[in-house]
A = this chain, B = another copy of it.
Amino acid sequence: MSVNQPRRGRRAGSPSTRELILASARTLFAEKGFEGTSLREIARDAGVDPAMVHHYFTGKEDLFSSCVELPANPDQVLAAVSAVVPADRGPALLRTLLVLWDSPAQPALLAMLRSAVGSKAQAALLREVLFRRVLARAMAGLGTDADDVRLRGSLLASQIMGLMMARYLVRLEPLASASHDEIVAVMGPTIQHYLTGSLRDGFAGGS
């Protein structure tokens, strides 16, 4: 590239290249899901060399996290959860999520929930985050079949999103002001039930 052509084209490494890649990634992840999207396609859509994608992001997972602007890496946050034995994992998952939601990450997480409610593309991204990140960790090693994992995962996600909404957005009392211990005490059993309970027969032992 000639040094005698100032201000022509976009220089490699300018902040905008990263933004171009993120914009294409957001669109493609929303349209085709995480699995259905390749880094090569994202580079092509963004009009950049695939090497640029690798320059800015360590891989597809990293690019995805940057796309949805996750303020914390859910894999790190949830790593401890998959180590908990399945029989105790519900309360552990719920407590981990409450700590995350009540951290400085809260505004970004609520923004993600809000935008998923208002936009189909954002809803698709949230679906990917929930299934690939939160639920994959929560259900690791549960040894159930794929249909069962999806059913349990969507039930779990419904209660998790509903709690976020009730506590932080609609601010329903006493959930809005309750301590983590209180919420884990009253909702932990539901999360555990969705993870490992007998779904088709209702709660074991009745309610």
Contacts and interface: CB of A to CB of B under 8 A. Distances in A.
Q: How many chain copies does the complex carry?
A: 2
Given A154-B174, A169-B117, A196-B207, A189 B202 contact: yes
Interface stretch (A51-59, A75-83, A101-109, A123-131): A123-131
Contact of A200 (B166, B175, B186, B205): B186
Interface stretch (A8-16, A21-29, A39-47, A157-165): A157-165
A84 interface: no
Interface size class of A (residues with CB under 8 A): 35 or more
Interface string A180-207: 0000011111101110110110111111
Interface string A79-107: 00000000000100000000000000000
A202 B188 contact: yes
Top 10 A-B pairs, shortest CB-CB distance: A205-B205, A162-B162, A158-B166, A189-B202, A158-B162, A193-B207, A154-B172, A197-B207, A154-B175, A189-B203
11 contacts: A118-B118, A131-B172, A158-B163, A158-B172, A159-B190, A160-B162, A185-B200, A188-B202, A190-B190, A203-B204, A204-B207
